[in-house]
Structure 1
Amino acid sequence: MVQRITHAVTPHSHDTAGKTDTALETSSRGMRVLAVSFAVLMVTAAVQAVIVAASGSVALLGDTLHNLADALTAVPLAIAFSLGRRAATRRYTYGYGRAEDLAGIVIVALIAVSAALAGYEAVTRLLDPQEIRAVGWVAGAALIGFAGNEWVARYRIKVGKEIGSAALVADGLHARTDGFTSLAVLLGAGGAALGLPLADPVVGLLITVAICFVLRDAAREIYRRLMDAVDPALVDAAERILTSVNGVRRVGSVRLRWIGHALHAEVEILVPHDMSVITAHGVAVEAEHRLIHELPRLRAATVHTDPDGPADADHHATLTTHRPH
Structure 2
Amino acid sequence: MNNNTRYNQAKKATIVSAAINTLLGFMKIIVGFLGHSQALVADGVHSFSDLLSDALVLFAAKAGNKSPDADHPYGHRRIETLGSIIIALLLITVGLALIGNTIRLIWHHEHLPMPNLSVLLIAIVSVGANEWLYRYMLKIANTIQSSLLRSNAWHNRGDAFTSVLVFMSVLGQLLGIPYLDAIGAILISLVIINMGGRMAWQGIRELIDTAVNPEELKKMDATIRKVSGVVDVHQLRTRFLGGNIYVDVHVLVDPMISVSEGHYISDQVFLALQQQHPNVTDITVHVDPEDDEVAQPSIYLPDRSAIMQWLDTNCADLPGYREHMGIRLHYFNGKILVDLTIPKKIKHHDQLQHTYDEVITKHTNIAKVFLYFR
Within-5 A mapping of 1:90-109 = 90-109=70-89
Within-5 A mapping of 1:223-234 = 223-228=204-209, 229-234=211-216
Within-5 A mapping of 1:9-48 = 21=1, 26-48=6-28
Please report how far the alpha carbon of residue 251 of structure 1 lies from its aligned counterpart in structure 2 after TM superposition: 1.4
Q: Partner of 1:240 in structure 2?
A: 222
- Distance of 2:17 and 2:161 partners within structure 1: 17
Which residue, 112, 128, 139 being the options, matches 1:130?
A: 112
- Distance of 1:244 and 1:47 partners within structure 2: 56
Q: Partner of 1:263 in structure 2?
A: 245
Q: Partner of 1:7 in structure 2?
A: none
Within-5 A mapping of 1:282-301 = 282-301=264-283
Amino acid at match of 2:66: R
Please report how far the alpha carbon of residue 94 of structure 1 lies from its aligned counterpart in structure 2 after TM superposition: 0.5
Amino acid at match of 1:257: R
Structure 2: give runs of 5+ residues left out of the alignment.
Answer: 302-374
The question of 1:143 aligning with 2:124 is answered yes
- Size of the alignment, in residue pairs? 295
The 3 A distance-change label for structure 1 pair 315 and 31 is farther
User: Which of 1 and 2 has higher RCO (CA within 8 Å, sep 6+)?
Assistant: 1
Please report how far the alpha carbon of residue 185 of structure 1 lies from its aligned counterpart in structure 2 after TM superposition: 4.0
After TM superposition, the score normalised by the length of structure 2 is 0.66
Q: For each residue in 1:50-93, what CA deviation from the matched residue of structure 2 results, as whole angstroms up to 9, or x when unmatched? A: 53575355543443233223224322331122112100001111
Which residue, 67, 74, 91 being the options, matches 1:87?
A: 67
The 3 A distance-change label for structure 1 pair 62 and 215 is closer
The question of 1:251 aligning with 2:233 is answered yes
Please tell me whether Structure 1 or Structure 2 has the larger radius of gyration of its CA atoms.
2
Please report how far the alpha carbon of residue 136 of structure 1 lies from its aligned counterpart in structure 2 after TM superposition: 0.7
The question of 1:74 aligning with 2:54 is answered yes
- Distance of 1:90 and 1:48 partners within structure 2: 48
Which residue, 152, 165, 175 being the options, matches 1:194?
A: 175
Q: For each residue in 1:155-190, what CA deviation from the matched residue of structure 2 results, as whole angstroms up to 9, or x when unmatched? A: 667876884646862x55665665565445434432
Runs of 4+ in 1 over 6 A off after TM superposition: 157-162
Which residue, 307, 312, 316 being the options, matches 2:299?
A: 316
RMSD (Å) for aligned C-alpha atoms? 3.4
Please report how far the alpha carbon of residue 132 of structure 1 lies from its aligned counterpart in structure 2 after TM superposition: 3.7
Structure 1: give runs of 5+ residues left out of the alignment.
Answer: 1-20, 319-325
The 3 A distance-change label for structure 1 pair 103 and 31 is farther
SS at match of 1:254: strand
After TM superposition, the score normalised by the length of structure 1 is 0.75
Whether the aligned pair in 1 keeps the contact of 2:36 and 2:112 (CA below 8 Å) is no
- Distance of 2:73 and 2:287 partners within structure 1: 23
- Greater helix fraction, Structure 1 or Structure 2: 1
- Distance of 2:92 and 2:134 partners within structure 1: 17
- Distance of 1:107 and 1:86 partners within structure 2: 22
Percent sequence identity is 24
- Distance of 2:184 and 2:103 partners within structure 1: 11
Whether the aligned pair in 2 keeps the contact of 1:265 and 1:298 (CA below 8 Å) is yes
